[in-house]
Structure 1
Amino acid sequence: MTHLTFASFGNVTVDDLVFADGTTMWYTPGGNAIYSALGMAIWGHRPAAVAPIGDDYPIEMLEGRLVLDYCRRTGQTLRDWGLYEEDGTRTFVFRSYTRDWLEYSPTLDDVGALTCDYAHIAPVPWQQQIAIADKLRRLGTKTISIDLDDRYLAELADADRTQLLTVADLFLPSKQDAEALYPGNSIPDTIRRMREVAPDVPMIAVKLGGSGVLFHGADDAELSWLPAIADGVRDTTGAGDAFSGGALAGFVHSGTALEAALRGSVAGSFAVQSSGPGALVSARPEECEARRSALLARVETRPF
């Protein structure tokens, strides 16, 4: 049996990026398991990514910041086109020969007898998220964070939604995910509805992209908000994943939703500075602490 401190379960991808001005970036290392693990790594950890991966993945570009020894080896890595529009929106399309998303998502067999203290489950099919979280709990994982994929969330039965919410310690959907879970509600109302279902989950946060993050800790009297903080925005790919990994690291550090939001927001700010994970890979501890301190002064509370 192998024991880890931090691990991220999700997808690993090779991204071929086409920007609106016609420029391209080929063979860019990506994947939600990678970005979320790097969000932990900037806070002094060396987490493991657990995901299917091929020998074609450009591991050297991660500069040893992550452990990839527990990735299941496949014939090739999940590969996609990333197509960017002038307004900043983007569409990712899986390549034809790696189109089966399920084939490139972690399974219970990938968990195996692997134990870890703290785990993030990145966006993969929600049924697998519940199953993986349940198994990790049985193996002794202390803290679990979950980010969602908005596909098929509108089809969730109430019991499935409740199970998805309550299986995590940190529930970290994006704005799109939250809208898919509870259509027609404002984000504050959505958080209230989530809290009614899951009163004891230590942290519920909705990532708002360039508008920051709105979050609530169990038993908090108010909602809290942090703005996005970034030294320039080049590409928002992976920012939400990096936030999630940083949030888990922050919560483990202090046990508070505020520290989770702070460290997650800092991780997201590095993710948007580059196309690909380069800015996260090269982030220095003093830069991370400086951004955290600057952000702490900007936290706001709102009625709940």
Structure 2
Amino acid sequence: MDKPQDPLEQAADWQIRLQEEPDARADFEQWLMESDAHRAAWRKMETLWSALGELPAKPEAAYSRSVVLKPSRPPQLTTRSRRRWLALATAAGVAAIAAIMAPQATMALRADYQTGVAQIRTVHLADGSTVVLSPQSALKVLDADGRQVELLKGQAYFHVARDPQHPFIAHAGQLSVRVLGTAFDLDLHQDAAEVALEHGQVQAENAQPPLSERLMPGQRLKFSWPSGKVERSSLEPTQVAAWRTGSLFIENQSVADIVDQLQRYTSGWIVITDPSLKTRRITGVYDLNNPPRALKALAQSLGVNSRQMTPWVHTLGNF
């Protein structure tokens, strides 16, 4: 005997079937009214697709209708329903790929060096400096000597060759880091940038709000541009750019920032289903060599669930 489908799987199956078979609406409404579990599963499926920006038309009119209940067989994992579930996974994958590929096409025209999902790349510049790019990152070299670069996306570790006559400058959004010879980590987010110093000295200069700060080893600064907020923190110098060896050291960072870093090692999307989780702050160590396990560990520390909905969609929250 086949194992009964989970209500959430049934809801996903119905979502595809309604698009393929509009005349199946009555059967769907019958399934919807059969139990609270079915209605809750449908709302969860809507929540997921809403978070993905792919919410379909809501066939919830049955809630306010008088429906004559009759025995009905929920969709089973037949060959046909398996195809529908695969179609759902494919739809989510296409949405993720479309969202990712459009900006990447533009980025490819601008960048001199790029990395993909879970890919780390070492770049040797003309001046003898070395840059290690984290996954899903992009770097542009701005001069022939290699002493001025721009981090277009992602994160990079810089080991700068010393040249007192020619300062090395790394740009990331509105932030510029000026050094003579040192090693530091630079992380660019959508609306912020973060610099952490391993050894030597750096001068971090932010355009808006205007700010200039000198960092010493083990210091980290984060500049958030919309709010103008500057966050200062400390860490062991040995923990700077620990992602190079597969470790993610987190100290009082937001869940949104942590997920942003885990996303670089994960194909598809990580969806935070509860917006209130994004601003919660966490301290911990996560294994970047096993992103699903890292996501589960993060979920446990938050007291929520993590779930792989499809090969391309991972969720974090009470879902």
Give the TM-score of the pair, scaled to structure 2.
0.29
Structure showing the higher strand proportion among its residues: 2
Structure showing the higher helix proportion among its residues: 1
User: Larger relative contact order (C-alpha < 8 A, sep ≥ 6)?
Assistant: 1
Give the TM-score of the pair, scaled to structure 1.
0.30
